[in-house]
Amino acid sequence: MKRRELGNNGLEVSAVGLGCMTMTGALYGPQADRPEMIRLIRAAFDRGVTLFDTAEAYGPFANEELVGEALEPIRDEVLIATKFGFDIDLKTGERRSGTNSRPEHVKAVADAALMRLRTDHIDLFYQHRVDPNVPIEDVAGTVKGLIAEGKVRHFGLSEAGVQTIRRAHAVQPVTAVQSEYSLFWRGPEMELLPVLEELGIGFVPFSPLGAGFLTGKIDANTNFEPGDFRNNVPRFSPEARKANLALVDMVKVVAERKRATPAQIALAWLLAQKPWIVPIPGTTKLHRLEENLGAADVALTADDLREIDAAVSKIAVKGARLPEAALKMTGL
């Protein structure tokens, strides 16, 4: 597996990471078999993955516990990213509405995460969502203190706007920003990516396969399981899916020519955008993991990229990427 550097603070990771959220049932349906997911995480490491992404909110707590158990035997050889920022009771796991990045809560979340992850440090600690009630300078200062204590190595932000990123970075250098980005959602190109390049901050796209749409396995007739968040996403309504299949058809054409899968082309396209972009596709299946990691070996030429960009510019993707309430919690 090729490696990349996230930001200018010396955080070197595999070119493709692993998003672990779906392994404990968040958003896409029921929880997967725990022993099987432990084997999958370790299989990812065996295939060169060093960046593993989790969060206290995934469960809550269950995902960090899974990742901690899976990576404990190889802890010194991997990098763990987790997140704080939602208002979750640290004793009961009750998730209240809204955010909570008050300094005392962030410190408590870090200590609890260290226990669940079976480690003495968090490699990358993201604010999951910006808290409108806590100045970002206070949040950055709190994480700066955790870094000084050795509990955290790097500071990250998730779904933050560019002004928030600038303000945070002035207090504690931000190593990485995480937001949705793919051929299915190119919003970060407008403002976010130029600012990250200017400040020397790495970018970690989640949903790099458009929540599965870019794999080519979803069409207008696909029925999602009860509890799957895509049932409530405008972009995944049957009507929108039917219209948006034009994008998938274009990816399939390139995939056939490159002797790759649509998912590999979608991921290779992301990797080709900037050398400091590290996508974190998630999966619960070994063959999908191997497919995703194979994208790091797919070389898209300048002509390939021009062809894709020209085709995408003619396709108007229909539907919002998130429900309205969720969009209000993002800075993009």
Q: What are the residues facing 296 on neighbouring strands?
A: none
Q: Which two tokens stand for residue 324?
A: 């309205």
Residues carrying an active site annotation: 58
Which amino acid belongs to residue 117? Answer: L
Backbone angles phi, psi at 98, to 5 degrees: 95, -170
Contact assessment for residue 202 and residue 275, using Cβ atoms and an 8 Å cutoff:
no
Distance CA 156, CA 168 (A): 10
Phi, psi of 182 (to 5 degrees): -170, 180
Q: Which amino acid is at 131?
A: D
Q: Are strands 174-180 and 152-158 parallel, antiparallel or unpaired?
A: parallel
Task: Please report, for residues 84, 186, 279, 296, 307, the alpha-carbon distance to residue 299 in angstroms, rounded to integers and kept in the order given.
Answer: 36, 21, 16, 8, 14
**What tokens were used for 116?**
């669940």
